[in-house]
């Protein structure tokens, strides 16, 4: 979305900007841009084991040498009229990629990365068909449920493909989770160069990890730029969707904010309702008896004045770890009730603005922003996957699942020990005893320890027995009196597609079928529910912090592929084969058991009430991309239309 400008700055300006660069992706970007592969010096290549450290673990000497090379290359590029070299051959591109990731073999990734990086602005995931060209006379419409990140994406692709659609959104604006979560400190924990649509990149993100308002603006502007607003019905909640095998259509029942109910017919329904939007309130006895103010983090109540108040926070997950540091100084006393401590990944730039020099590089060195995206994609995605997989030969341990995972545990333990060095009484409470990545790894830049170490904060690990009219009682019988209780207790993540009622073929009820254990083929299609497509559906969540936008882009392409299939031939409905669906899920379950989050018995929202990991994708990002590039008609029962 932001254009690259020609370089007119002086050598000194360039030198100053490069001094602020994220160095590991810089030499690959310049090799790509200038065609000069001699920039890829072996001695300056990042070590894959250290890629999670600042500057990929490069030493000061390596950084200085890499910067000097980069400055010369940028000056030459400027003097040459800021004209990029011709695109590299596949062999050269592969070489640059393998260098960028510290030497891993990347041949399988080449086509994915060319697409994911959208170098030079092209959009390789756009639909390859237009309805007017392949089925101008076929009446085919789509209902998309939700105008969050995935729903906007689905709308954009349907619009590009000329397929008529409507997006139904219960809120008053777009943005989904970024619209609903407004708690103090709410921000993305995946760097924005990665957490953004591949085809709508910004080079000018103000922060490395954007706050909620910045992300909401991004999604709002995407809705405008993609010209989607006229397709969205706001304040319209979907109550039910019912399939007719006779008409091969869904009937979607909606209710508007003023209570008006209506039905809409469509050939296909795309659910883009997300996983993390129905607050989960803990089942603690007496919860309703509390007489003070109380609210959930996802329904932050700004009318409650926290200044000077005695405030209890229940939960220490991703949301609480973001808002507790924001409120700790203002409240009178803060009582943090922690059941399981989180692992924290040190992230010094977590709250930092992108420096002017770095911003300048992103907007003047073509492809640097994309190579940075690639660097993040790799080091926070498939690059770390081996570190969270169970090594069957690893001496069974509750606290780690392999030697690399144990190395991660030691590094993260060191971080916590340093942060709490002056409060040894807290160390045993804050250091987790479960393997890194068995729960979501959170980011920290020191604010967590500072909040917990305040004189006015108590970290309470005694389990909660009940809630009374005056406060929280722990199992030791102590009543902790408070004015306010804030629930940072997460979401009903495994109740996919609730509270909608979804009725498929032969009157099948989706929630009865799932019976609390949601499954889908590739997270997208469900046997007995033809032409129903889920985005961010079962087993498409990621634990190590890749970008969920990637999954949605893959999923939407697959759905558009299914629609293409239906429009081209005489078939108008597709229903995934049960054997294909079951076999896929068995593989997913087996692999999830081999991952830290499946092997460990620690609590997490990744597991449903039956203990099955219903949330997570256990394989590589590459595999999801490969499997969703296009639907295989053999996976489906296809039904001819009228
Ligand atoms: O929810 P959570 P969240 N008694 O389920 C505790 C995304 N997100 O809202 O760990 C006492 O992680 C529970 O304890 P335990 C992100 O994907 C992203 O924080 O189960 N405590 C835990 O501490 C994230 O993973 C961002 O033992 C109880 C907490 O409540 C997901 O949303 C920011 C309890 C719940 O933590 C959910 O995060 C925020 C009870 N009865 C959220 N019941 C980004 O940065 C629950 N708990 C992008």
Assess contact for 401 and 62: CB atoms under 8 A.
Answer: no
CA distance linking residue 227 with residue 235, whole number of Å: 19
Q: Which of 330, 55, 81 is nearest to 185 (CA)?
A: 330
Average pLDDT, the chain: 95
Distances (CA, A) of 334 to 286, 453, 466: 21, 11, 18
pLDDT at 283 over 80: yes
CA distance linking residue 422 with residue 453, whole number of Å: 9
pLDDT at position 317 is: 97
Does this chain's domain 131-278+493-640 share its CATH topology with 287-349+392-487?
yes
Q: Cβ of 228: how many Cβ atoms within 10 Å? A: 23
User: Which residue's alpha carbon is nearest to atom 13 within ligand 1?
Assistant: 315
Q: Which of the listed CATH numbers 3.50.50.60, 3.40.50.300, 3.40.50.1370, 1.10.287.470 matches domain 287-349+392-487?
A: 3.50.50.60
φ, ψ (nearest 5 deg) of residue 561: -65, -40
pLDDT at 439 over 60: yes
φ, ψ (nearest 5 deg) of residue 505: -65, 145
Query: 212-226, 339-353, 382-396, 445-459: which range is least confident on average?
Result: 382-396
Q: Which of the listed CATH numbers 3.50.50.60, 3.30.300.130, 4.10.520.10, 3.10.20.440 matches domain 131-278+493-640?
A: 3.50.50.60
Render pLDDT for 102-119 as a digit per residue (tens, 0 to 9): 888 899 999 887 887 776
User: Greater confidence, 530 or 570?
Assistant: 530
Render pLDDT for 10-62 as a digit per residue (tens, 0 to 9): 999 999 999 999 999 999 999 999 999 999 999 999 988 888 888 999 999 99
User: Which residue's alpha carbon is nearest to atom 46 within ligand 1?
Assistant: 489
User: Which residue's alpha carbon is nearest to atom 3 within ligand 1?
Assistant: 490
pLDDT at position 120 is: 63
* pLDDT band (50, 70, 90) for residue 464: very high
pLDDT at 622 over 90: yes
Q: Which of 237, 299, 300 is nearest to 273 (CA)?
A: 237
CA distance linking residue 421 with residue 424, whole number of Å: 6
pLDDT at position 271 is: 98
Mean pLDDT of the region 406-435: 97
Mean pLDDT of the region 73-97: 94
Render pLDDT for 181-202 as a digit per residue (tens, 0 to 9): 999 999 999 999 899 999 998 8
Ligand 1 pocket test target in 338, 339, 432 with most atoms within 8 Å of CB: 339
Counting from 1 in the atom list of ligand 1, the atom nearest the Cα of 187 is 45
Q: Cβ of 414: how many Cβ atoms within 10 Å? A: 11
pLDDT at 126 over 60: yes
The Å distance, Cα 367 to ligand 1 centre, comes to 37
Render pLDDT for 264-279 as a digit per residue (tens, 0 to 9): 999 999 999 998 889 9
Residues having CB within 6 Å of any atom of ligand 1: 188-189, 276, 282, 284, 314-320, 322, 337, 339-340, 440, 464, 488-491, 603, 605
Strand-pair category, 471-474 with 464-467: antiparallel
CA distance linking residue 190 with residue 175, whole number of Å: 17
User: Greater confidence, 138 or 546?
Assistant: 138
Mean pLDDT of the region 608-631: 95
Counting from 1 in the atom list of ligand 1, the atom nearest the Cα of 186 is 33
pLDDT at 2 over 80: no
Assess contact for 543 and 616: CB atoms under 8 A.
Answer: yes
Render pLDDT for 291-337 as a digit per residue (tens, 0 to 9): 999 999 999 999 999 999 999 999 999 999 999 999 999 999 999 99
pLDDT at position 618 is: 96
pLDDT at position 203 is: 85
Mean pLDDT of the region 502-531: 97
Q: Is the pTM of this model over 0.75?
A: yes
Q: Which of 540, 505, 507 is nearest to 526 (CA)?
A: 505
Counting from 1 in the atom list of ligand 1, the atom nearest the Cα of 489 is 30
pLDDT at 1 over 60: no
Enumerate the β-bridge partners of residue 205.
none
CA distance linking residue 43 with residue 156, whole number of Å: 44
Give 236's contacts (C-beta < 8 A, 6+ positions apart).
168, 169, 170, 254, 255, 256
- Residue-range domain boundaries for the chain: 11-124+356-379, 131-278+493-640, 287-349+392-487
The Å distance, Cα 372 to ligand 1 centre, comes to 29
């Amino acid at each position: 979305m932001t254009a690259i400008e020609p370089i007119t700055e002086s050598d000194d300006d360039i030198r100053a900007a490069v001094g602020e660069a994220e160095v590991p992706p810089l030499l690959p970007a310049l090799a790509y841009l200038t065609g000069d592969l001699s920039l890829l010096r072996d001695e300056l290549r990042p070590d894959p084991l250290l890629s999670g450290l600042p500057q990929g673990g490069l030493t000061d000497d390596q950084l200085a040498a890499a910067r000097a090379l980069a400055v010369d290359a940028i000056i030459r590029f400027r003097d040459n009229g800021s004209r990029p070299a011709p695109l590299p051959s596949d062999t050269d591109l592969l070489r640059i990629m393998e260098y960028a990731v510290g030497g891993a073999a990347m041949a399988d990734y080449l086509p994915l990365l060319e697409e994911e990086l959208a170098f030079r602005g092209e959009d390789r995931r756009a639909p390859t068909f237009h309805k007017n060209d392949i089925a101008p006379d076929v009446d085919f419409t789509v209902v998309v449920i939700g105008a969050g990140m995935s729903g906007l994406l689905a709308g954009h692709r349907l619009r590009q493909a000329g397929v008529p659609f409507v997006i139904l959104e219960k809120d008053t604006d777009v943005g989904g989770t970024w619209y609903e979560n407004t708690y103090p400190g709410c921000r993305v924990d995946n760097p924005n160069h990665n957490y953004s649509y591949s085809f709508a990149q910004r080079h000018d993100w103000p922060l490395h990890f954007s706050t909620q308002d910045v992300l909401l603006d991004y999604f709002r502007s995407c809705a405008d730029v993609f010209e989607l607003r006229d397709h969205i019905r706001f304040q319209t909640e979907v109550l039910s969707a019912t399939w007719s095998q006779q008409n091969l259509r869904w009937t979607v029942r909606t209710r508007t904010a003023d209570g008006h109910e209506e039905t809409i017919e469509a050939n296909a329904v795309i659910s883009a309702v997300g996983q993390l939007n129905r607050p989960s309130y803990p089942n603690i006895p007496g919860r309703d008896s509390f007489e003070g103010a109380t609210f959930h983090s996802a329904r932050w109540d700004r009318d409650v004045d926290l200044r000077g108040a005695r405030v209890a926070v229940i939960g220490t997950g991703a949301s609480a770890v973001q808002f507790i540091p924001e409120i700790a100084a203002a409240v009178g006393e803060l009582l943090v009730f922690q059941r399981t401590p989180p692992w924290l990944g040190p992230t010094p730039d977590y709250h930092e603005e992108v420096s002017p020099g770095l911003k300048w590089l992103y907007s003047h060195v073509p492809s640097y922003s994309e190579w940075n995206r690639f660097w993040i994609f790799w080091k926070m995605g498939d690059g770390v996957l081996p570190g969270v997989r169970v090594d069957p030969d690893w001496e069974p341990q509750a606290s780690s699942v392999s030697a690399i995972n144990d190395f991660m545990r030691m590094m993260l333990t060191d971080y916590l020990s340093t942060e709490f060095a002056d409060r040894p009484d807290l160390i045993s409470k804050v250091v987790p005893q479960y393997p890194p990545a068995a729960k979501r790894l959170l980011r920290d830049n020191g604010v967590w320890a500072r909040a917990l170490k305040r004189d006015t904060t108590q970290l309470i690990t005694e389990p909660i027995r009940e809630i009374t009219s005056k406060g929280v009682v722990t199992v030791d019988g102590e009543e902790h009196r408070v004015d306010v209780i804030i629930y940072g207790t997460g979401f009903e993540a495994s109740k996919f597609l609730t509270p909608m009622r979804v009725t498929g073929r032969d009157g099948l009820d989706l929630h009865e079928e799932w019976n609390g254990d949601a499954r889908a083929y590739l997270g997208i299609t469900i046997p007995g529910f033809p032409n129903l497509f889920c985005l961010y559906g079962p087993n498409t969540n990621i634990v190590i912090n890749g970008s969920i936008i990637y999954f949605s882009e893959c999923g939407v392409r697959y759905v558009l592929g299914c629609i293409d299939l239906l429009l081209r031939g005489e078939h108008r409905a597709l229903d995934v084969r049960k054997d294909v669906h079951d076999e896929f899920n068995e593989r997913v379950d087996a692999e999830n058991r081999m991952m830290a989050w499946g092997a460990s018995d620690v609590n997490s929202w990744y597991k449903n009430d039956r203990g099955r990991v219903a949330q997570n994708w256990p394989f590589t990002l590459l595999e999801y991309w490969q499997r969703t590039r296009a639907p295989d008609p053999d996976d489906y029962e296809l039904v001819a239309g009228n």
